[in-house]
Amino acid sequence: MEKKEIRFKINGENIVISIKPNKTLLEMIREDLKLTGTKEACDHGECGACTVLMNGVPVNSCLVLAMEAHGKEILTIEGLKQNNRLDPIQEAFIQNTGMQCGFCTPGMIMSTKALLNRNSKPSDDEIKEAIAGNLCRCTGYTKIFESIKDASSKIGGK
Amino acid sequence: MEEIYIGDYSLLGKNIPRIDAYEKVTGEAKYAADIELPGMLWCKILRSPLPHAKILNIDISRAKRLTGVKAVCTAKDFKGFRWGWMPITRDEPPLAEDKVRFYGEGVAAVAAIDEETAEEALELIKVDYEELPGVFDPEEALKEGAPVVHDYRPNNISWEFHMDFGDVEKGFKEADLVREDRFATGRVITGFLEPPAAVALWDSSGITIWAAKQSPYFVYRHLAQCFNLPLNKVRVIQPFVGGGFGGTKNDSVAGDFCSVLFSKMTGKPVKFVYKMEEVFLTCRRRHNAIIYNKMGMKKDGTITAMQSRLIADGGAYTAIGPLTMYLTGCISTLPYKLPNFKHDAYRVFTNNPVGAAMRGHGVTHTRFAAEIQMDMMAEELGLDPMEIRLKNAIEAPHVTINRVTIFSCGLKDGLLKLKDHPLWKERKKEKKGNEIISGVGISGVAYLGGARQRGHQSCAAVLRLCEDGTVEYLTGATDAGQGSDTVLTQIVAEELGLSIEHVDIHRVDTAYTPCDAGSYGSRVTALAGEAAMKAARDLKRQLADYAAKEWNVSPGDIVFKNNKVYPKHMPDKAIPFRKLAQIACYSGVGAVIIGKGYSQYGIEPYDFEKGMGNAGTAYSFTSQLTRVEVDQETGFTRCTDMIIAHDCGKPLNPGLVESQNQGAGVQGLGQAIYEEFVMDRGRTLNANLADYKMPTAVDAPNIEVIHILTDDPNVPYGAKEASEGAIVSSPPSVISAIHDATGIWFKELPVTPEKIALALREKKKE
């Protein structure tokens, strides 16, 4: 399959890359750009481990073709840190033990980022809804809810 | 998360943030699938489309000719190697030899320059099968004339255990009420999100493999045996692990053997990553079991005897199944007083995927049956489910009829806290709605920590002191997500009086880390923790000798605290720990300061044949309240609350212990009402995360964890297990809540909306 050139921004950096049109955004991120923080688990859009933000909207990158990134802005877990400082969401997940194995964590944090970008004071139900597509087998979600609430209060407090 | 006072410690009992949290929230943490080496090939496995068939011929010639394919292998390349838990049960080959025994079993494998080419090559392999009649139900498999899965077990009984203590017949005679019921537990998966993966490299130094394992020393031994190499030529390096929960990641998978073989054949590194569909179709799952349970009870609720007959679907190979069977019986004598007990467990071969260990191993089946039956009998006798538990609950010290010894027990304390909880006290006041009805259920269970198997048991720790006072900590124990690396580091730092950041724990690398039995059976804090404590004390003893000389005091009088060292009663003389480290390391021509320790708890013999003695070093006790709301029309059940009173002895990191309980509670909820493999003649029909329903954030209840503190002398700092108890307590408390709401007893898991709606309709007719 012939490669096609696309241009986009990822984590603030401009990228020009030739890519096979059948490649998914997830494959491009992990294999071509070597950003392995984004995880592949189910590869069918069922678990949310591969969640990244595309123009601020959370997407399952395993269901999106790389070509669709053309002209867009992508944010992955690696792009959350600003000037070597963690995002308040990352801080909150550390402080509240919002993880165990960590495999769902990048996707979970990216879904949280999208939620708090559009709604800095979400209700409990809105939090549950926002991460309903992100499976976690380890934590029973309690400490993830607590992390998100803490992040919301940190961000909202500004 | 609150701190818990468990003693005069700087770090223990405190909610120290996970030491791996930074790597995990930044995406820095590398898992096996994230590893890439130059020139790496991809390994893919061809899987059987039939559940039981003779392999007549495998033609790999076309696949071999495909451009980009570097090697193809079949069973014969493994020269008859088979692995298994015990020498006499080594019945599983890396790839099927003469016949396939389950749908999806590996029959051949390909190594190619990329994943796509490897997948394409699989389609070019031609396998001629002769389909054999299959057997898919364990009770059918026990019948005369059933298809035989393994010739060495002509009756299909893969393993059996018989335990007989006291006199059950006498016990039933003494009872006022005797009940017999048939219970069934479901076909469920561990459900880790990270599929098995590895990168293998064979070169002149032997095998190096970066593999997603929760017990890397299993694959270490398997690879040495398979490839006939000494152990020092097998190096397993442990990346971060994306969840384990027993079974698959405690064991080897076809991909491990095939990728190593391909690296040997091609000289290139070889990688495999299973697809989630392969995980669902072929990986280890919990045995589903049928439990015929008989219990005798006096009018006042005293249990006089219990007899269980368990028939478990073992699937196509033995794996760790004998231990599963042992665990279904060995602690059935907990957590309630039981004077007479008989247990017959049969693990049966079928043409289903392999049944193996999963969190709450073995115990979850029989305890579910016993808890529900006890509630049913209490109801018949007009007794309160809380009171019947309080009446029968054991208290420490206690020795069960099969010689399980209990030194600490927080069951009664937990039950009393639940009895006082508003959720329990106000459950009757709740008005039953028209459409939605609610109920509260209870359970009380025990689980073993520091589990023992036969063979190598010990955990060890090595601490290397750096001249600047930092410490490198080598352990063979694996943190698969549970947080043990954090707890073990807390232990070392606590003993040495150091801040946590001065101790650096290294993930397993079998070339350097001490051999370890594995991260299963809630054994890491208990046994690797004991080793860590002893190694730190060994290091401290060596340092104290240098310090004692400096101050001319006895080594026993040296205090290590707050990154400082000083003679007892003379804190003003304190020097930084770093200074003492330098003195010690630079003494003479330069000293090497290494602390070492290994676990010794739980070394007294136990009788594996009879089911007698301690299979663990200490026992946790968990009692649980669960509230559900049931839609009478659709049967849909929503779990709103769980209160888990967990006796983990002394929680060394209370937040992590809570998280373990919360995770296990929800995993148990999945088993109780959501999760089940839908099977058709050995084929899993819902082999994906959309159709196999694991609980999502929306399904998660509010969970309150109550720490019950006890003091057990048989574990370091009194810390017992966390989470295996809660996955055992969760299903019966959920089912008991559904009964409280509907008045119906469900005896087969999972209790799906369909089952509830149908049962409610039947009930209406009556």
Do B393 and B441 sit in the same domain of this protein? Answer: yes
Task: Please report residues of B whose CB lies closer than 8 A to that of A135.
Answer: 193, 689, 694, 696
Q: Is residue B150 part of a domain?
A: no
Do B640 and B710 sit in the same domain of this protein? Answer: yes
Count of all residues that appear for chain A in the document: 158
End of a domain among A79, A104, A128? Answer: A79
Q: A44 and B690 in contact by Cβ < 8 A?
A: yes
Q: B27 and A35 in contact by Cβ < 8 A?
A: yes
CATH number of the structural domain spanning residue B390: 3.30.365.10
End of a domain among A79, A106, A133? Answer: A79
Give me the mean pLDDT over the B272-286 stretch: 97
Buried-exposed string B124-141: b where 16+ CB fall within 10 A, e elsewhere: bbebebeebebbbbbeeb
Distance in Å from the first CA to the final CA of chain B? 49
Q: A144 and B697 in contact by Cβ < 8 A?
A: yes
Give me the mean pLDDT over the B172-179 stretch: 98
* pLDDT band for position B457 (cuts 50, 70, 90): confident
Buried-exposed string B95-116: b where 16+ CB fall within 10 A, e elsewhere: bbeebbbbbbbbbbbbbbbebe
Distances (CA, A) of A51 to A92, A122, A149, B36, B687: 19, 20, 20, 22, 22
B30 contact A CB<8A: yes
Q: Is residue B303 part of a domain?
A: yes
The pLDDT tens digits of the residues spanning B701-741 come to: 999 999 999 999 999 999 999 999 999 999 999 999 999 99
The Cα–Cα gap between B672 and B24 comes to 31
pLDDT value at position B432?
A: 65
The pLDDT tens digits of the residues spanning B519-570 come to: 999 999 999 999 999 999 999 999 999 999 989 999 999 999 999 999 999 9
Q: A106 and B27 in contact by Cβ < 8 A?
A: yes
Do B81 and B220 sit in the same domain of this protein? Answer: yes
Q: Is B464 exposed, middle or buried (0-12, 13-18, 19+ CB in 10 A)?
A: middle
Q: How close B706 gets to chain A, by Cα (Å)?
A: 14
| Residue percentage of chain B with pLDDT more than 70 | 99
CATH number of the structural domain spanning residue A67: 3.10.20.30
Domain with B614, as residue range(s), is 285-452+606-765
Backbone φ and ψ of B67, nearest 5°: -60, 130
Do B394 and B490 sit in the same domain of this protein? Answer: no
End of a domain among A38, A56, A79? Answer: A79
Q: Is residue B385 part of a domain?
A: yes
Q: Is residue B171 part of a domain?
A: no
Do B483 and B545 sit in the same domain of this protein? Answer: yes
Do B274 and B330 sit in the same domain of this protein? Answer: no
Do A13 and A34 sit in the same domain of this protein? Answer: yes
Q: B23 and A142 in contact by Cβ < 8 A?
A: no
Q: What is the DSSP letter of B31?
A: B
Q: Which residues are within 8 A (CB) of B336 and not within 5 positions of it... i.e. 6 or more apart?
A: B303, B374, B389, B392, B393, B394, B444
Q: B663 and A139 in contact by Cβ < 8 A?
A: yes
Do A123 and A72 sit in the same domain of this protein? Answer: no
* Max CA pair span of chain B: 91
pLDDT value at position B722?
A: 95
Q: Say if strands B285-286 and B355-356 run parallel, antiparallel, or are unpaired.
A: parallel
The pLDDT tens digits of the residues spanning B565-617 come to: 999 999 999 999 999 999 999 988 888 999 999 998 766 777 888 889 998 99
B241 contact A CB<8A: yes
The Cα–Cα gap between B480 and B523 comes to 13
Q: A94 and B18 in contact by Cβ < 8 A?
A: yes
CATH number of the structural domain spanning residue A129: 1.10.150.120
- Token pair for residue A92? 């909150």
Q: A97 and B665 in contact by Cβ < 8 A?
A: no
Count of structural domains within chain B: 3
Closest residue in chain B to residue A36, using alpha carbons only: B34
Closest residue in chain B to residue A81, using alpha carbons only: B26
| Residue percentage of chain B with pLDDT more than 90 | 94
Q: Is residue B627 part of a domain?
A: yes
Do A70 and A97 sit in the same domain of this protein? Answer: no
End of a domain among B542, B573, B598? Answer: B598
User: If contacts are CB pairs under 8 Å, which of residues 73-112 in chain A contact chain B?
Assistant: 76-78, 80-81, 86, 90, 93-97, 99-106, 109
CATH number of the structural domain spanning residue B88: 3.90.1170.50
pLDDT value at position A158?
A: 45
Task: Please report residues of B whose CB lies closer than 8 A to that of A137.
Answer: 190-193, 243, 245, 663, 667, 694
Q: Is residue B488 part of a domain?
A: yes
Count of structural domains within chain A: 2
Q: Is residue B6 part of a domain?
A: no
Do B427 and B388 sit in the same domain of this protein? Answer: yes
Domain with A143, as residue range(s), is 88-156
Backbone φ and ψ of B305, nearest 5°: -165, 155
* Max CA pair span of chain A: 51
Q: How close B763 gets to chain A, by Cα (Å)?
A: 34
Do B628 and B721 sit in the same domain of this protein? Answer: yes
Q: Cβ(B446)–Cβ(B619) under 8 Å?
A: yes
The pLDDT tens digits of the residues spanning B385-398 come to: 999 999 999 999 99
Q: Say if strands B436-449 and B618-631 run parallel, antiparallel, or are unpaired.
A: antiparallel
Q: B25 and A105 in contact by Cβ < 8 A?
A: yes
ipTM comes to: 0.98
Q: Is residue B137 part of a domain?
A: no
Task: Kindly report which listed range (B74-83, B143-152, B596-605, B687-696) carries the lowest average pLDDT score.
Answer: B596-605
Mean of the per-residue pLDDT values of chain A: 97
Q: Cβ(B202)–Cβ(B54) under 8 Å?
A: no
Do B266 and B291 sit in the same domain of this protein? Answer: no
The Cα–Cα gap between B719 and B80 comes to 44
3-state secondary structure A119-130: CCCCCHHHHHHH
Do B289 and B278 sit in the same domain of this protein? Answer: no
Mean of the per-residue pLDDT values of chain B: 96
Q: B689 and A136 in contact by Cβ < 8 A?
A: no
Do A64 and A113 sit in the same domain of this protein? Answer: no
End of a domain among B598, B624, B645? Answer: B598
Do B271 and B292 sit in the same domain of this protein? Answer: no
The pLDDT tens digits of the residues spanning B293-343 come to: 999 999 999 999 999 999 999 999 999 999 999 999 999 999 999 999 999
B694 contact A CB<8A: yes
pLDDT value at position A157?
A: 53
Do B315 and B379 sit in the same domain of this protein? Answer: yes
Do A99 and A152 sit in the same domain of this protein? Answer: yes
Closest residue in chain A to residue B702, using alpha carbons only: A142
Q: Which amino acid is at B27?
A: G
